[in-house]
Amino acid sequence: MNRVLVTGGAGFLGSHLCERLLNDGNEVLCVDNLYTGSKKNIEDLFKNPYFKFINHDITEPLNVETDQIYNFACPASPPHYQSDAIKTAKTNVIGAINMLELAIKTNSRILQASTSEVYGDPQIHPQPESYRGYVNPIGIRACYDEGKRMAETLFFDYKRQHNVNIKVIRIFNTYGPKMDIYDGRVVSNFIVQALKGEDLTIYGNGEQTRSFCYVDDLIEGIVQMMNSKERLTGPVNLGNPLEFTIKQLADLILDLTGSQSKLVYKPIPDDDPIKRKPVIEIAQDELGWKPLVKLEEGLKKTIDYFKKVI
């Protein structure tokens, strides 16, 4: 039985990951400061004697016994990570250092949840891992984008200097049950607005694109990456390469919910990427992984979840 630490384990992705790891027979230690996560997301897991929760901020050092570390702590929605940008930068950078130091002490393998945001507003489309990105270092998204880029740098420096066993994944937009109602990301916003009969808020003209991955597909890829051969450090893109405009997403959600809500157009936030779509050849070739859940199918499950919680 592995002792697995999940930072950010009470968040959207972290809570799904904790559940999966427990089901696989691991002992799971969930570390979270409940900044954007919630105990509600993990309430079912407390019944399992192999699950433990520690309320801890990863910008402070942590001393625990562990064999594997999944570093997921960091707010992921733009309104949340921008609301205290300095804290976001600290979580990404100091948090990564603290977890890498713990990996040295415990001789643990450590996986970093990086992001497609390291590509910024990409000038190459779709984005392969070899693309170095186009990030505004002084913009409102930089605390997150540059923070995640620095975390990647630290992971590779700790590997070079201390031979830490690292894995880095770049996650593209993922959605599903347990997203927070007030999270502010597009899928949860549109579904909640549609179900409440409120206007769907499209930022800009709605022609910008994203490629949406259902959470179960992503979690499978994450676990496979953690347990892959040591030489596969990444970075590896994980996401669904099917690309949609935001307007298409809004129309599909209106259709699936049967909502009479209208679309309203709001100003687009600064530095909002125009296009995003992953190249997933490395994940396919090295892990044999590819997403299986179609957007319509994943949205239906997500809508069913939100119907129960709003």
Q: Is 173 in the site for ligand UDP (CB under 6 A)?
A: yes
Q: How many residues bind ligand NAD (CB under 6 A)?
A: 28
Residues between 187 and 246 with contacts to ligand UDP, criterion CB under 6 A:
189, 201-203, 208, 210, 246
Helical H segments across the chain, by residue range: 12-23, 78-83, 85-106, 142-162, 186-196, 215-226, 246-257, 281-282, 295-309
Q: Is 191 in the site for ligand NAD (CB under 6 A)?
A: no
The only residue of 58, 219, 223, 293 in contact with ligand NAD, by rule CB under 6 A: 58
Q: Is 34 in the site for ligand NAD (CB under 6 A)?
A: yes
Query: Which region, judged by CB under 6 A, interacts with ligand UDP, from 105-113, 118-126, 161-169, 183-191?
Result: 183-191
Choose the catalytic residue: 35, 144, 158, 175. 144
Q: Closer to ligand UDP at the Cβ: 93 or 202?
A: 202
Residues between 130 and 159 with contacts to ligand UDP, criterion CB under 6 A:
none
Q: Is 272 in the site for ligand UDP (CB under 6 A)?
A: yes
Tokens found for residue 206: 């709605």
Q: Closer to ligand UDP at the Cβ: 241 or 269?
A: 269
Listing from the earlier edge strand, what are the strands of the sheet with 68-71? 51-55, 27-32, 3-7, 68-71, 109-115, 166-171, 236-238
Query: Has 144 been annotated as catalytic?
Result: yes
Closest CA to 248 of 177, 280, 200, 214: 200
> What mask of x and - would describe binding to ligand NAD in positions 258 to 287, judged by CB under 6 A?
------------------------------
β pairing state of 243-245 and 209-211: antiparallel
| Beta-ladder partners of 120 | 134
Neighbours of 134 (CB within 10 A): 12
Q: Closer to ligand UDP at the Cβ: 16 or 210?
A: 210
| Beta-ladder partners of 30 | 6, 53
Tokens found for residue 193: 């607005």
Q: Closer to ligand NAD at the Cβ: 173 or 259?
A: 173
The only residue of 33, 127, 237, 259 in contact with ligand NAD, by rule CB under 6 A: 33
One-character DSSP codes across 257-290 = HT--PPEEEEPPPTT--S---B--HHIIIII---
- In angstroms, the CA 169 to CA 171 distance is 6
Least distance to ligand UDP from the beta carbon of 214, Å? 14
Query: What residue 58 binds from ligand UDP, ligand NAD, none (CB within 5 to 8 A, per partner kind)?
Result: ligand NAD
- In angstroms, the CA 36 to CA 95 distance is 16
Catalytic residue numbers?
Answer: 144
- Which residues would be at the binding site for ligand UDP (CB under 6 A)? 77-78, 173, 185-186, 189, 201-203, 208, 210, 246, 268-269, 272
